[in-house]
Amino acid sequence: MKKKVLIMPALMAFMTMILSGCQPLMVFDTKGPNAKTLSNTIILSIIVMAFILLVVYVLFVFMLSKYRASKQPSGYEPPHEEGSTKLEVTWTVIPIIIVTVLSIVTIFTTSKVEHQQTGYENKKPLVIYASSSDWKWHFSYPEQGIETVNYVNIPTDRPIEFRLYSFGPITSFWIPQLAGQKYAMSDMVTKIHLAADQEGSYMGRNSNFNGKEFAQMEFETQAMSQADFDKWAKEVKANEPKLTEAKFKKLLKTSVVGRESFSSTHLSFSPAPEMDMSKHSGESNKKDSHNMDNMDGMEGMDMSK
C-alpha cells in the first residue's frame, strides 16, 4: 500500500501525456536557436534528475519493503548504528560532481543565449525596442521608423535584438518558442538576442505580474520571410498615421488596447533609458549594480555585461 506513493508520479506523468494531447509543450517546441539551447538544457537536466529520483525511489522502496515491522521476527531489536563515513562521503561527493557538471552547462548555456545567436554572428541584428506600459506592449523599429502595439513582426534568418524597458511596474518579456524571458524595467534597458528559424505565429506575453489587467498582456509574434517583412514595413510607413507625443501619452494612459500601427516611433520624444553598458558598477545612473552586501560579506558584485 505504501507503494502507491511511488506509483503516483508515474501515473501523473502518464495522465498528463494523455490530457495534453500529443502536442509538444511550448518550451520544447522551439522555433529558434535561443529557445533550442534552453530546451536542450532543460531536457538534459530532466534526464539527470530522473536518474537521481530513481536512485532515491529504489532505496526508499527497498527500505520500506524489507524493514517493516510485519516482516521482522517479533523479538527483533534494531541495532545501534552511528553512521558510515564511507557512505556519507559517497553521497556528498557524487552530488558535488553532478552539481559541477550542471554548473558548467549552466554557465556555458547562459553565455550562449546572452550573446548573438550561433549561426547568425556575421549578420547585423535588427534592433526592436519593446516597452511595456499598463497593460500593453509597444514595439519600436528605429531602422524602419515604425511602431506597433501588441504585435511584433520579425524577419526569419536575421538575428533580432530586443531592447526592453518599462513605463511602469516591472514586466517580463517572454516568447517561449523563441527565447527565454527577461525583465523590462523603468530605468534601464535589458536585451534579448534571438532569431527565428521558421516562419509562423508565436505567442508572446508579459509573465511578471503588474497589476489588474496583467492577464491581457499578450502579443503575437509573426516570423516572416525578409521580403514579406520589408513589404509589411513599407506599407505601415506609407499608410499608417504618425505617432505624436500627445497620442502616445494618451496611449500610455489607456489600459487595454487592441493592435495598432504607426509610421513613426516614440523614441524621438521619449527615448529609452539607455546607458553605456560597458561601464562597470558603481556608476551613479546604473541600475544593475546592486552592491548589496549580505551578511557574508559578498560585496560589490559586478553586474555589468
Partner 1 sequence: MSKVNKSLPLEYSTEENDLKIFGFWVFLGAEIILFATLFSVYFTLVDRTGSGPIGKELFELPPVLVETFALLTSSFLIGLGVHAMRLGRTKAMMVFYILTLLLGAVFLGVEINEFLTYIHDGATIQTSAFLSSLMTLLGTHGAHVTFGLLWGSSILIQVKKRGLNAKTANKAFIFSLYWHFLDVVWIFIFSFVYLKGVL
Partner 2 sequence: MSMDELFAPMKEPMILGAAISIVVGAVAIVAGLTYFKKWGWLYKNWLTTVDHKKIGVMYILVALVMLFRGGIDALLMRAQTAVPENGLLNAEHYNEIFTTHGLIMIIFMAMPFIIGLMNVVVPLQIGARDVAFPRLNALSFWLFAVGAGLLNISFIIGGSPNAGWSAYFPLASTEFSPGVGNNYYAWSLQISGLGTLMTGINFITTIMKMRAPGMKLMKMPMFTWSALITNVIITFAFPVLTVALAMMTLDRQFGTKFFAMQDGGMDMLWANLFWVWGHPEVYIVILPAFGIFSEVISTFSRKNLFGYKSMVMSMVVISLLSFMVWVHHFYTMGHGVMVNGIFSITTMLIAVPTGVKIFNWLLTMRHGKITFTTPMLWALAFVPIFTIGGVTGVMLAMASADYQYHNTLFLVAHFHYVLIPGTVFGVLAGYHFWWPKIFGFRLNEKLGKSAFWFIVVGFNVAFFPLFILGLDGYARRMYTYSADTGYGPLSMVSFIGALAMAVGFALICYNIYYSFRHSPRETTGDPWDARSLEWATQSPVPEYNFAIVPKINQLDEFWYAKKEGRDITAGKYERIHMPNNSGAPLWMSGVMFLFSLFFVFSEWTLVIVFAIATLGFMAYRSFENDEGHYIEVAEIEATERRLRGEK
Q: How many Cα neighbours within 13 Å face the side chain of 197?
A: 14
Asked whether the beta carbons of 163 and 189 are under 8 A apart, the reply is yes
CA 273 to chain centre: 22
9 binds partner 1, rule: CB under 8 A: no
Q: Which does 231 bind (CB under 5 to 8 A by kind): partner 1, partner 2, none?
A: none
How far apart, in whole angstroms, are the C-alpha atoms of residue 298 and residue 294? 6
**Binding mask of the shown chain, residues 229 to 268, with x at each position contacting partner 1 by CB under 8 A:** ----------------------------------------
Which of 31, 35, 64 shows the shortest CA–CA distance to 180? 35
| Burial letters 127-144, b for 16+ CB under 10 A, else e | ebbbbbbbbbbbbbbbeb
Size of the site for partner 1 (CB under 8 A): 9
Return the C-alpha cell found at 143: 531602422
Distances (CA, A) of 49 to 11, 41, 268, 275: 18, 12, 50, 41
Nearest to 180 by CA among 167, 197, 194: 194
Q: Which does 133 bind (CB under 5 to 8 A by kind): partner 1, partner 2, none?
A: none
Q: Are 102 and 45 in contact (CB under 8 A)?
A: yes
**Contact string (CB under 8 A) for partner 1, positions 12-41, x = contact:** ------------------------------
Partner from partner 2, partner 1, none binding residue 276, C-beta < 5-8 Å depending on class: none
| Binder of residue 282, out of partner 2, partner 1, none (CB less than 5 to 8 A by kind) | partner 1
Q: Is 87 in the site for partner 1 (CB under 8 A)?
A: no
To partner 1, the closest distance from the beta carbon of 285 in angstroms equals 8
To the nearest whole angstrom, how small is the minimum distance from the Cβ of residue 65 to partner 2? 10
User: Which residues sit opposite 128 in a β-bridge?
Assistant: 162
CA distance 29 to 36: 8
| Residue 64 binding: pick among partner 1, partner 2, none (C-beta 5-8 Å cut-off by kind) | partner 2
- Residue 84 phi/psi, 5-degree rounding, is -150, 115
107 within 8 A of 100, measured Cβ to Cβ? no
Residues from 263 through 282 that contact partner 1 (CB under 8 A)? 282
**Residue 179 interaction partner, one of partner 1, partner 2, none, beta carbon < 5-8 Å per kind:** partner 2
Minimum Å gap between C-beta 204 and partner 2 is: 10
Between 246 and 295, CB nearer to partner 2 = 295
- For the record, the C-alpha cell of 113 comes out as 543565449
Least Å from the CB of residue 116 to partner 2: 14
Q: Indicate the residue among 77 and 121 with the shorter CB distance to partner 2.
A: 77
Coil vs helix vs strand at 79: coil
Binds 63, which of partner 2, partner 1, none (CB < 5 to 8 A, cut-off by type)?
partner 2
Q: Does 295 bind partner 1 (CB under 8 A)?
A: yes
Interacting residue ranges for partner 1, rule: CB under 8 A: 282-285, 290-293, 295
